Structure 1
Amino acid sequence: MTTSTFASRLRAMFTRNRDDSTLGSSVSAARAVELVRDGAALIDVRESQEWKAGHAPQAIHVPLGKIDTASRRLSASTPVLVVCASGMRSRTGAKKLRDAGFEAASVSGGMSAWEQAGGAVRR
């Protein structure tokens, strides 16, 4: 066995192929609105003050610092979208959830993009 073949096998064992997931690492806000409408979970990783200023009614609030506790509130068979103010914290949250075995993606553009795409916001 050559080194490249061995390395390829190891990579395949410990990484997810693109074909294993219907989501990429991020989705547009318009796609996120559709996915949530179709049953995907939405996790909002913003801090409490940001959440209180306006959030998607169907979102589950889990500040990024507590994202490790989110798995108790999620189904492993349901795709998970992660949103924040701009899309930065949600990338970190989605990566942590993917590492925990969830199919998770960040909502590009955050809550303002969500609202511009027609996503509901409760204030």
Structure 2
Amino acid sequence: MAEKEGGIVKNGHEEGLKLALSILEEFELPLGLLPLADVIEVGFVRSTGYMWIVQKKKVEHGFKMISKQVSYDTEITGYVSKKLIKKLKGVKAKELMLWPPVSEIKVDDPPTGKIHFKSLAGITKAFPVDAFASGQ
């Protein structure tokens, strides 16, 4: 709970989604990165970059452009900075028959059009940033 101290908190789907999207936009991350449903709460602590999202149920989303299934837990947490989310928890990407947790998401800076996903096992996969645009 100490991580949440001094944070901005928005409750409800509309307000929570607005805050989540404004954080992604501010830190130059693709707006379709977090396809959320039934958001209960979103919070952000500007001084540390800590962000959390609570939603009613787990969400599975298929990113068509890259044929990837991603699972978003009922609670997602991480530390956001420019073009980067680290210490990410609550997000898994399907790899063959496994669902390894994604621990870091990083957009290339300077821009190359690529976004990198790192799993806890240390495996990194790169995809086109466009695959995570809003509505994908």
Per the TM superposition, whether the score is higher than 0.5 is no
TM-score, length-scaled by structure 2: 0.29
User: Could you say which structure has the higher strand fraction?
Assistant: 2
Question: Could you say which structure has the larger radius of gyration?
Answer: 1
Report the TM-score, using the length of structure 1 for normalisation.
0.30
